[in-house]
Amino acid sequence: MDAQQKPAPPPEAVLIREALKQVRLSGREAARRSGVSNTRWRQIISGYQTVSGSHVPVVAPAETIARMAQATQVTPDELRQAGRADAAAELERLAPPPTPGNTPGSYADDPQVTAIAALLATLPPEAQEAVLRKLGRSMPGPVAQVDVNPDMRNAG
């Protein structure tokens, strides 16, 4: 291969690129979700990086491929079929992908939000609607019942 010929991307890169289209994510967003820099993401997906004007093949470590696969919803079986059993095993060890409720910085586990939701859930549906209107939001139906700590019910 001469210095100007670009190496073909490895099968796992092709798999992840196709999955990226299926989940309708930009490469930049998928890179962010996987904790891989945007530049490195592009190198891995294209299968090469340019070093001193030459195109050098890129094969990412199993852990990196697993995080990229997780961000694009590629399964361990698909990684195995692409010849990356090492990345498949790593993907199986990873925690489930972040969701809006468990993403760092979300309010899902904020004790104040939990307390407010618990108090709101104790109100009748009409009162819940009034509170939500006052906040400038409208929700269909009552707020889901939250299991309130018995000590909290009697507080106040």
Residue type, 64: T
pLDDT of residue 95: 63
Query: Euclidean distance between the first and final Cα of the chain, in Å?
Result: 77
Both 78 and 133 in one domain: the answer is no
Both 22 and 88 in one domain: the answer is yes
Q: Model's pTM, two decimal places?
A: 0.60
Both 88 and 125 in one domain: the answer is no
Answer whether residue 104 is part of any domain: no
Q: DSSP code of 147? A: -
Both 75 and 117 in one domain: the answer is no
Answer whether residue 51 is part of any domain: yes
CA–CA separation, 138 vs 125, rounded Å? Answer: 12
pLDDT of residue 57: 95
Answer whether residue 2 is part of any domain: no
Both 74 and 122 in one domain: the answer is no
> At what angle are helices 125-134 and 111-121 packed, to 10 degrees?
130
Residue 100 main-chain phi, psi, to 5 deg: -55, -30
pLDDT of residue 101: 56
Structural domains counted in the chain = 2
CATH number at residue 50: 1.10.260
pLDDT of residue 3: 52
Closest CA to 139 of 125, 151, 152, 153: 125
Q: What is the pLDDT of residues 34-77, one digit of tens each?
A: 999 999 999 999 999 999 999 999 999 999 999 999 999 999 99
Q: Which domain holds residue 125?
A: 111-153
Q: Give me the sign of the Cα torsion angle 44, 24, 81, 66.
A: positive
Answer whether residue 143 is part of any domain: yes
Both 70 and 119 in one domain: the answer is no
User: What does each of the 156 residues of the chain score in pLDDT, given as a tens digit?
Assistant: 555 789 999 999 999 999 999 999 999 999 999 999 999 999 999 999 999 999 999 999 999 999 999 999 999 999 999 999 999 999 999 866 555 555 555 666 677 777 787 787 788 888 888 888 887 755 555 555 444 444 444 444
Concatenated DSSP letters of 9-69 = PPHHHHHHHHHHHHTT--HHHHHHHHT--HHHHHHHHHTEEEETTEEEE----HHHHHHHH
Both 141 and 70 in one domain: the answer is no
